Amino acid sequence: SFDTATDDGLRNRALLEFLAATGCRVSELVALDRDKLELDQRAVNPKDGVRIADELTVFGKGSRYRRVFLRMRAREWLERYLRSRKDKDPALFITGRKKEGGSYRMSVKMAQTIVAEAAKRAGLAESVSPHWLRHAAITSWATQMNVPAAQRLAGHRNVATTSRYLGSTDAELKELYKKRFG
């Protein structure tokens, strides 16, 4: 859990929720700029504050764009995080340390550290990384929707790439077989 009374805590929670919801690669996450978030057009009243739409476009691997979708919980945490920011840095996720060129953009390494430390605090035994969250999202999409949908959401050109994320244990395979064929 994060101390969401702090700016870093809000940022870290928003980052985790974003990764879990979108299955984005960590490189896609840290490359995102605030102006790439689409505002919810229903937020016509200034007192509505920052209202994020439920989808956005990310620039990913292979220099390709794709749409990703945000669950309500991820949107709410992103909105809280963005409302707390007073800076003008274009990066969606920032740190307190200025980089060469004057940006406060978060590095891949820092995002990985945030995820790993959150997993440790949660008492998870295994090593958790942004890619682990991506793997979990893709597996969930494939099992709850279908593999072609998971392929598109993951931004994979080839369905074989998506299928690699779906490796079943022998016990899972046996259970599936029994359910289907008795």
Task: Please tell me the distance from the alpha carbon of residue 137 to that of residue 60, in angstroms, as a whole number.
Answer: 16
What does each C-alpha distance from 180 to 61, 118, 155, 174, 177 come to in angstroms? 37, 38, 30, 10, 5
The closest alpha carbon to 166, from 131, 140, 129, belongs to 140
DSSP character string of 71-118: -HHHHHHHHHHHHH------BSSB-SS--TTS--BPPHHHHHHHHHHH
Task: Please tell me the distance from the alpha carbon of residue 74 to that of residue 55, in angstroms, as a whole number.
Answer: 11
Instruction: Mark whether 135 is an active-site residue.
Output: no
- Given the residues 11, 13, 66, 134, the one annotated as active site: 134
Instruction: Mark whether 83 is an active-site residue.
Output: no
- Given the residues 11, 13, 25, 66, the one annotated as active site: 25
- Given the residues 36, 61, 67, 157, the one annotated as active site: 61
- Given the residues 11, 13, 105, 156, the one annotated as active site: 156
Task: Please tell me the distance from the alpha carbon of residue 148 to that of residue 161, in angstroms, as a whole number.
Answer: 11
- Given the residues 34, 80, 131, 152, the one annotated as active site: 131
Active site residues: 25, 61, 131, 134, 156, 165
